[in-house]
Amino acid sequence: MASSESPAGLPPKPARQRGVAFDAQSAEDLGFDEIRERLSDLCKTESAQRRARDLAPSTHRPTVTEALDSTDELRRIRVEGHSFPALVFEEIKGEIKLLEVSGSALTESGFMRVLQCTRLVNDIIGALNGRERAFPRLCGMLGTVQENTEIVKEIEAVFDPKGGVRNNASAELGRIRIDMQTARRQVNRLFDKAMRSCAKQGWLADTEEGYLNGRRVLAIASTHKRKVRGTALGTSKTGSVTFIEPSECQQVNHELEMLRDDERKEIVRILRALTQRIRKHTPLIKAQQRLLVKLDFLQAKVKLALDMDGVRPHIVKELRIELLKAHHPLLLLAHRSKGLPTQSQNLTLHPARRMLVISGPNAGGKSIALKMVGLIQAMVQSGLLVPVHPNSAMGLFKQILTDIGDNQSIENQLSTYSYRLKRMKGFLDGAGRNTLLLLDEFGTGSDPELGGALAEVFFEELYAKGVYGVITTHYANIKTRATDMPEAVNGSMLFDGETLSPTYQLDLGQPGSSFTFEVAELNGIDPGLIRRAKSKLDPRKVKLDGLIAGLQKEKSRHARMVDRQLKAEHDAEEARREYERKASRLDERQDAVQQVGQEQNAALLRGRKLLQFIDRFKPGQANKGLLEDIRKYLSVEATKKAEKAEAAARKKAAKDSRRKSARTKQNLDRIRVGSTVRLKEGRQRGEVLELKGKRATVAFGEFRTRVELADLVWVR
């Protein structure tokens, strides 16, 4: 992307890419250039590669949503294993140009590329046929492109599967090739006769024969070359062997050469005629080429998304950034290549909290968090899937601008601070409510007190303009000022207060300590020197930093305690469930034992009754009354058995229902607005913000979601 920067490195009016102010410096600062290069490397065609290198954010909502939806649809096809052809093809830009020139002829390889593209497009159309509801964007990409068998039939009628022109492509070509075959047989017969004669005379070299200029030649020992009738066509490197074409073969070889020339001319005529026949399909072939390049670019976006577990976030109308379980895309890729884990972040910017000031120790991840926000925003507005939770939501900004890193302008003899002042002037002149600003190490590069004061004024001006922003700083006055602004919020990168090592976890709500003196002491600096350094500072500043550090240590300790408590609660819950499972199995066994006892008693009674019937039976006499009593008894027993089974089923259902109802009622009765709850399948606690019917709005940290009450467990 061309830069429109001024000599100082600042674009007073940043170059607009489809309505988005996203200058070259911002693309470089955020790593968007590297994303474009990675995307380009994943493309197969030159046209798609060029499109990847020119990729830029857009504020046109339909364009962004269509790009995200189509990419997500192809991602689903690949991940879910739906039938879809592999996008293997070559571009046919040269063939299209020839088709537009009257009287021109495509080459054999050119026809093969056209055939390959047409077959592939036909397969794509077949794969998407009837799937408009499942993949509407991909089906919409087809546009007016329809399946075409005429091009395939025309080319296959001329070419065999290996790409050669068929013998029956024309009657003349068939005749020529028959004559060529006859001539070759004749040449071989005459040559073999001459070789046998030379072999008999002992004139042949060890290799006996060879090929020169497409002709069979005798390998004659140079000492005998004048004894052989024919034309010498060359010698070996040492000169010990002379290659001779026998005289009896020369006339037939000449005729064969004439036939080859006839064959070439006939093939050219056939290709020209075939080109003329498919020329009428040029508009369709152009459309096929455009479709395949789009799909090549789309496939590259999908491959990039799969590499980083990219998904489609929600695109909302209001200006908002709600990142859930977000990862820095490039850091994630780098860590995965080394088998390292990457810390996810939750971060929210919205109209009521649009400026985030991140502080904390060096190497704690402040810059990574800042760049993550800008890079993900730029990628989403460019139609790329990003490594976030699918419930993440993002609005569209008209400006994405950065001031990150050490950018000196040697040509104009500008220091880092001067450069940053020039760039800040551009921000103050052009930034507004649709601007996302990402300022790293805000205000540094000059005298700490003077630079801090100027940075505070800049901060106030940017705030007044309504910009959205993420700012990293060590300046206490910026942190303090953020607490006074209703639409700004402090955040800090958490630091383990005991090991003094970063956790790379962003925490919103309070500023962070630099842990300057603590880290110095950990690295062996003399405590006396540290005390002298503290004595040179305003005691209030030392006390404030100490308080913040203490809060962070306490927060780290509390977090570990909460983790242990949650684990204990989880283990206790598992133990309770295991107890309930064992108690239930014991109840079932007791019921089974009781059931067996009842059945045995019933069997005993039935046996006694049967003995009574046996005693009443009189052999050789009429037993009509006995048989009638037996029938009545059997009918009553069958009715009792059916009623007993039905009663047992009702009893079991009622028992299960009472258990479930008791657990659910206890759960529902306890949950109120303000209750602390957790998901049945999770550990993280959340606060109930709203109750509506059988659903609750719960805040899990920065993440808010609607949950069925039945899926929640009351904690307190």
For the segment 200-220, the average pLDDT, to the nearest whole number, is 81
Question: What pLDDT score does 11 carry?
Answer: 42
**pLDDT at position 625 over 80:** no
Alpha carbons 509 and 489: distance in angstroms, whole number: 6
Question: What pLDDT score does 374 carry?
Answer: 95
Give the model confidence (pLDDT) of 642-660 as tens digits. 887 787 778 777 766 666 6
Question: What pLDDT score does 714 carry?
Answer: 78
Looking at the structure, do residues 190 and 204 belong to the same domain, yes or no?
Answer: yes
Question: What pLDDT score does 657 carry?
Answer: 67
Q: Which carries the bigger pLDDT value, residue 508 or residue 299?
A: 299
250-259, 524-533, 706-715: lowest mean pLDDT where? 524-533
Q: Which carries the bigger pLDDT value, residue 617 or residue 62?
A: 62
Alpha helices in 31-143 (DSSP H): 32-42, 46-53, 61-80, 93-99, 108-128, 136-141
Looking at the structure, do residues 38 and 184 belong to the same domain, yes or no?
Answer: no
Amino acid at 662: A
Are the beta carbons of 246 and 218 closer than 8 angstroms?
yes
Phi, psi at 450, each rounded to 5°: -70, -45
Looking at the structure, do residues 291 and 147 belong to the same domain, yes or no?
Answer: yes
Within a domain: 581: no
**pLDDT at position 560 over 70:** no
107-121, 179-193, 260-274, 478-492: lowest mean pLDDT where? 478-492
Phi, psi at 237, each rounded to 5°: -60, -35
Beta bridge partners of 20: 17
Are the beta carbons of 312 and 390 closer than 8 angstroms?
yes
Output DSSP code: residue 224.
Answer: G
Question: What pLDDT score does 207 carry?
Answer: 76
**Percent of the residues in the chain that have a pLDDT greater than 90, as a whole number:** 39
326-335, 414-423, 437-446, 623-632: lowest mean pLDDT where? 414-423
**pLDDT at position 5 over 50:** no
pLDDT bucket at 441, cuts 50 / 70 / 90: confident
pLDDT bucket at 109, cuts 50 / 70 / 90: very high
404-413, 532-541, 594-603: lowest mean pLDDT where? 404-413
Looking at the structure, do residues 300 and 152 belong to the same domain, yes or no?
Answer: yes
For the segment 291-320, the average pLDDT, to the nearest whole number, is 95
Query: Given 265, 299, 330, which residue is the final one in a domain?
Result: 265
For the segment 583-599, the average pLDDT, to the nearest whole number, is 78
- Other beta carbons within 10 angstroms of residue 173's beta carbon come to 21
**pLDDT at position 552 over 70:** no
Structure tokens at 444: 């540094």
Question: What pLDDT score does 284 carry?
Answer: 95
The CATH number covering residue 685 comes to 2.30.30.30
The CATH number covering residue 292 comes to 1.10.1420.10
Residue of 269, 246, 98, 253 whose CA lies nearest to 171: 269
Question: What pLDDT score does 38 carry?
Answer: 96
**pLDDT at position 281 over 70:** yes
83 CA to centre of own chain? 19
Q: Name the average pLDDT for the chain.
A: 82
Structure tokens at 663: 């657990």
193-202, 507-516, 674-683: lowest mean pLDDT where? 507-516
Highest mean pLDDT among 96-100, 411-415, 599-603: 96-100
Within a domain: 123: yes
Looking at the structure, do residues 137 and 283 belong to the same domain, yes or no?
Answer: yes
Looking at the structure, do residues 198 and 284 belong to the same domain, yes or no?
Answer: no
Within a domain: 591: no
Structure tokens at 388: 């976030």
The SS3 assignment for 474 reads coil
Question: What pLDDT score does 8 carry?
Answer: 36
592 CA to centre of own chain? 55
Q: Could you write out the three-class secondary structure of 306-319? A: HHCCCECCEECCCC
Looking at the structure, do residues 154 and 247 belong to the same domain, yes or no?
Answer: no
**pLDDT at position 163 over 70:** yes
pLDDT bucket at 413, cuts 50 / 70 / 90: very low
Alpha carbons 329 and 348: distance in angstroms, whole number: 18
Question: What pLDDT score does 643 carry?
Answer: 80
Looking at the structure, do residues 128 and 157 belong to the same domain, yes or no?
Answer: yes
For the segment 294-310, the average pLDDT, to the nearest whole number, is 96
Question: What pLDDT score does 566 carry?
Answer: 61
Looking at the structure, do residues 52 and 186 belong to the same domain, yes or no?
Answer: no
Place of tokens 């170059």: 15
Number of structural domains in the chain: 3
Question: What pLDDT score does 160 carry?
Answer: 93
Within a domain: 452: no
Alpha carbons 122 and 141: distance in angstroms, whole number: 14
**pLDDT at position 3 over 50:** no
**pLDDT at position 181 over 80:** yes
Alpha carbons 598 and 288: distance in angstroms, whole number: 79
Highest mean pLDDT among 7-11, 20-24, 49-53: 49-53
Looking at the structure, do residues 117 and 232 belong to the same domain, yes or no?
Answer: no
**pLDDT at position 553 over 60:** no
Question: What pLDDT score does 564 carry?
Answer: 67
For the segment 34-58, the average pLDDT, to the nearest whole number, is 95
Amino acid at 434: N
Within a domain: 157: yes
**pLDDT at position 415 over 70:** no
Q: Which carries the bigger pLDDT value, residue 640 or residue 342?
A: 342
Are the beta carbons of 87 and 293 closer than 8 angstroms?
no
Alpha carbons 532 and 522: distance in angstroms, whole number: 17
Are the beta carbons of 110 and 94 closer than 8 angstroms?
yes
Within a domain: 326: no
Question: What pLDDT score does 16 carry?
Answer: 40
Are the beta carbons of 250 and 230 closer than 8 angstroms?
yes
Within a domain: 235: yes
Domain that holds residue 709: 671-716
pLDDT bucket at 208, cuts 50 / 70 / 90: confident
Alpha carbons 598 and 601: distance in angstroms, whole number: 5
Task: Count how many residues are written for the chain.
Answer: 716
For the segment 155-168, the average pLDDT, to the nearest whole number, is 93
**pLDDT at position 4 over 50:** no
Place of tokens 């998901």: 679
Within a domain: 129: yes
Place of tokens 């004659």: 220
Listed in order, strand segments (DSSP E) in 440-483 are: 468-472
Looking at the structure, do residues 138 and 256 belong to the same domain, yes or no?
Answer: no
Are the beta carbons of 438 and 370 closer than 8 angstroms?
yes
Are the beta carbons of 282 and 99 closer than 8 angstroms?
yes
For the segment 203-217, the average pLDDT, to the nearest whole number, is 79
Give the model confidence (pLDDT) of 377-399 as tens digits. 999 999 999 999 988 999 999 99
Highest mean pLDDT among 143-147, 200-204, 420-424, 548-552: 143-147
Looking at the structure, do residues 111 and 175 belong to the same domain, yes or no?
Answer: no
